[in-house]
């Protein structure tokens, strides 16, 4: 079919290329492509082909369309849950928590929103705390004991203090109670992350510190380019552990009972509290299933991609077989829009590195020598010579003032007989904590090293360990009460394992993280030297994981003190089992609304934890700085 003589040249050329192929004998007819049809029938719009081709090159691909429903679902769920947090609220209004399974997805959404809000606040707190404590010796002397105190304060102590101010901050609105719940979850997450980041920043290898000095990195640049990337693997493992710690204390955070006020927020924690009150075993089983679903969701959608992304920060030249994998991260890397957005984000982040840049060594002006004379010369000389001692004296005076105020409070309010009684209970709880931590260490350190050296096992065990660490000990109350009543077991002995049930996983997680960061070259060198058995553990594995183990052991120890509140005082319906100990004392005083004795119990617990950290764990940290790799 010949073309018309007046046909445009472009159309004639396209027809010459396309039509003969369709009419050639023996050649199957082929449809003309969409772009060809545009150019053939709309010759004035020939530029549309280039536009469409460019759109295809930069537009969404199939991975973008696969991720779009997931992103929209997460955003819609987060928006709906956030809107429910600001509803009207009246103090004393009875809260209705339905045990129908249909409400569990809604309760799970509300709980996970609170936990991620608390996790964000905990991460920010860890950044600030670790950076200041590592870079300032004077601040370190205050912040580390302060963190010891904060870690030792049980969640009920924080709640008793914080619930009234938060409600007053948002009168007539549920947001005040929500903030109190988020703050309570924050207190179960932040200390572990802060200790982990501080310990990692203190153990940056000397050669990396020397390289940072050679490149004249400022303190701001050192944090973002060296210290945080080096600490990232351990920090992520401790973030997972902190999320699990939030689940462990979820009942206390969402079912608030202080001074006769019973406030329940919609969530899994309040659901468990109501199920325990009504002795509903079916609801307990449903709550366990909902928890498992939530842990799998945030493991696959949040932590697993972060672990796979952070694998590039491992301190070694060869990756070996330790790479983490994430299907969501693989999808994101194949998505055009995701690559474009992340590229713009990291470009903006790289721009912030120059905010507080240090001047090059050759461009720095020589420091002017201090003036030998002047109106304040004597003061500068005095501070240079006695500044650190003066700061130590201020700290000692502050501690003495706090001790004096505590003595006045004891003498005028509760009496010394009560103090002696509470101190004896503290020694009982201390004995339980130390024995349980020792037994958990003997069990989990070898297992954790074995898992950390085998990344395939580490990825498989990760979700299981998260679930076990998140498993609230309250859910075991039905079984515990039944067994102890049926076999007439002694509460002072058989309630003790509940204290370490949720905190022993801190040791497992930290040692797995420490073992997974052992350089592959070191492992190969140990194999080439023929190191085996106890010699290999003594010379390679134990020194390598010792700093990570200490972080886990300290956090597990502090968590066990907090867990004593729910482990030494067990309730199932109308049946109550109580062991002698400081946690049981604080729980009973909280239920009674006796704030003076709550303060006494919390103060005694803080003193025990601080003395333990000062005279035991601090020395272990110093040993780790010399023995760690």
Contacts from 588-593 at CB under 8 Å and sequence distance 24+?
Answer: 590/156, 590/160, 590/257, 590/258, 591/257, 593/258, 593/259, 593/260
Q: Tell me whether residue 206 is in a domain.
A: yes
CB 549 within 8 A of CB 445: yes
- For residues 15 and 153, state if they share a domain: no
CA distance 153 to 156: 8
Q: What's the pLDDT at 197?
A: 92
Q: Tell me whether residue 260 is in a domain.
A: yes
Q: Tell me whether residue 17 is in a domain.
A: yes
CA distance 448 to 548: 11
Alpha carbon separation from 491 to 321, 501, 601, 609 (Å, rounded): 47, 16, 21, 24
518 phi, psi to nearest 5 deg: -65, 125
CB 604 within 8 A of CB 426: yes
Q: What's the pLDDT at 114?
A: 95
> Mean pLDDT per segment of 10 residues, for the chain of length 629 residues?
43 41 42 44 52 62 88 93 88 82 94 95 94 88 83 74 82 88 90 88 86 85 89 86 80 74 87 88 90 89 89 63 76 88 84 65 49 55 64 80 81 85 93 94 92 77 71 76 85 88 83 84 84 86 88 84 85 83 88 82 87 85 68
CB 89 within 8 A of CB 174: yes
Q: What's the pLDDT at 571?
A: 81
- For residues 311 and 412, state if they share a domain: no
CB 136 within 8 A of CB 566: no
Instruction: State how beta strands 569-572 and 575-578 pair.
Output: antiparallel
Which has the closest alpha carbon to 324: 243, 242, 232?
A: 232
Q: What's the pLDDT at 421?
A: 93
Sign for the CA dihedral angle at 83, 86, 88, 89 comes to positive
First to last CA, the chain: 81
Q: What's the pLDDT at 141?
A: 84
- For residues 228 and 152, state if they share a domain: yes
What range does the domain containing 169 cover? 102-315
Q: Tell me whether residue 364 is in a domain.
A: no
Q: What is the pTM of this model?
A: 0.74
Which residues, 6+ apart, have CB-to-CB distance to 189 below 8 Å?
118, 119, 122, 242, 243, 245, 246
Q: Tell me whether residue 140 is in a domain.
A: yes
CA distance 443 to 394: 43
- For residues 278 and 403, state if they share a domain: no
- For residues 523 and 442, state if they share a domain: yes
- For residues 46 and 115, state if they share a domain: no
- For residues 489 and 606, state if they share a domain: yes
Q: Tell me whether residue 66 is in a domain.
A: no
Six-digit token pair at 213? 């000095």
Point out the domain boundary residue: 260, 294, 315. Answer: 315
- For residues 132 and 2, state if they share a domain: no
- For residues 106 and 249, state if they share a domain: yes
Q: What's the pLDDT at 585?
A: 92
Number of domains present in the structure of the chain:
3
Q: Tell me whether residue 3 is in a domain.
A: yes
Point out the domain boundary residue: 288, 315, 342. Answer: 315
- For residues 23 and 114, state if they share a domain: no
- For residues 432 and 510, state if they share a domain: yes
State the CB neighbour count (10 A cutoff) for residue 566.
26
Which has the closest alpha carbon to 480: 360, 569, 551?
A: 569
Six-digit token pair at 385? 């010579």
CA distance 106 to 112: 10
Q: What's the pLDDT at 100?
A: 92
Q: Tell me whether residue 333 is in a domain.
A: no
442 phi, psi to nearest 5 deg: -60, -35
Look up the CATH number of the domain holding residue 443.
1.10.3720.10
Point out the domain boundary residue: 286, 315, 344. Answer: 315
CB 590 within 8 A of CB 598: yes
- For residues 408 and 512, state if they share a domain: yes
Q: What's the pLDDT at 13?
A: 44
């Amino acid at each position: 079919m010949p073309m018309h003589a007046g046909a445009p040249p472009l159309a004639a050329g396209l027809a010459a290329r396309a039509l003969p192929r369709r009419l050639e004998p023996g050649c199957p007819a082929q449809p003309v492509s969409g772009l060809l049809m545009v150019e053939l029938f709309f010759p004035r719009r020939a530029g549309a082909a280039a536009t469409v081709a460019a759109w295809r090159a930069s537009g969404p691909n199939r991975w973008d369309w696969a991720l779009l429903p997931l992103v929209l679902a997460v955003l819609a769920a987060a928006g709906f849950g956030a809107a429910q947090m600001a509803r009207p609220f009246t103090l004393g209004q009875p809260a209705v928590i339905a045990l129908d399974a249909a409400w569990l997805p809604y309760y799970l959404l509300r709980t996970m929103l609170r936990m991620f809000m608390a996790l964000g606040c905990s991460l920010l707190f860890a950044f600030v705390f670790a950076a200041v404590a590592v870079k300032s010796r004077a601040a370190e002397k205050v912040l580390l004991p302060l963190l010891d105190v904060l870690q030792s304060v049980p969640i009920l102590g924080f709640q008793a203090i914080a619930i009234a101010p938060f409600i007053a901050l948002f009168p007539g609105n549920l947001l005040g109670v929500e903030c109190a719940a988020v703050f309570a979850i924050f207190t179960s997450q932040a200390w572990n992350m802060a200790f982990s980041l501080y310990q990692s920043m203190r153990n940056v290898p000397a050669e990396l510190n020397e390289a940072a000095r050679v490149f004249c990195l400022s303190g701001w640049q050192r944090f973002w380019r060296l210290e945080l990337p080096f600490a990232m693997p351990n920090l992520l493992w401790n973030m997972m552990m902190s999320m699990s710690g939030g689940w462990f204390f979820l009942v206390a955070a969402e079912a608030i009972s202080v001074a006769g006020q019973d406030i329940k927020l919609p969530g899994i924690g309040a659901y468990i509290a109501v199920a325990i009150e009504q002795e509903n075993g079916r609801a307990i089983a449903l709550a366990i299933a909902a928890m498992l679903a939530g842990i799998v969701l945030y493991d696959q959608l949040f932590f697993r991609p972060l672990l796979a992304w952070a694998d590039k920060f491992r301190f070694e030249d060869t990756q070996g077989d330790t790479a983490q994998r994430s299907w969501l991260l693989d999808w994101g890397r194949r998505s055009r829009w995701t690559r474009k957005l992340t590229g713009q984000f990291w470009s903006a982040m790289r721009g912030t590195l120059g905010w507080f840049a240090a001047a090059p060594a050759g461009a720095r002006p020589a420091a002017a020598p201090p003036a030998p004379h002047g109106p304040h010369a004597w003061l500068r000389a005095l501070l240079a010579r006695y500044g650190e001692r003066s700061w130590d004296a201020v700290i000692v005076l502050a501690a003495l003032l706090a001790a004096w105020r505590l003595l006045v409070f004891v003498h005028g309010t509760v009496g010394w007989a009560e103090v002696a009684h509470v101190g004896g209970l503290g020694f009982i709880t201390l004995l339980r904590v130390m024995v349980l931590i020792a037994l958990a260490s003997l069990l989990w350190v070898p297992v954790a090293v074995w898992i950390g050296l085998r990344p395939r096992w580490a990825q498989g065990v990760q979700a299981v360990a998260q679930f076990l660490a998140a498993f609230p000990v309250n859910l075991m109350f039905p079984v515990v009460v039944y067994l102890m009543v049926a076999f007439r077991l002694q509460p002072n002995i058989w309630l003790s394992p509940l204290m370490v049930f949720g905190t022993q996983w801190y040791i497992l997680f930290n040692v797995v993280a420490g073992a997974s960061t052992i350089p592959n070259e070191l492992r190969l060198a140990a194999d080439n030297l023929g190191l085996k058995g106890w010699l290999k553990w003594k010379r390679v594995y134990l020194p390598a994981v010792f700093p990570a183990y200490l972080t886990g052991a300290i956090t597990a120890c502090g968590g066990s003190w907090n867990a004593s509140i729910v482990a030494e005082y067990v309730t199932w319906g109308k049946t109550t089992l109580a062991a002698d100990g400081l946690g049981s004392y604080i729980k009973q005083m909280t239920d009674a609304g006796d704030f003076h004795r709550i303060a006494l119990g919390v103060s005694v617990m803080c003193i025990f934890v601080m003395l333990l950290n000062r005279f035991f764990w601090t020395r272990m940290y110093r040993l780790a700085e010399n023995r760690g790799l």
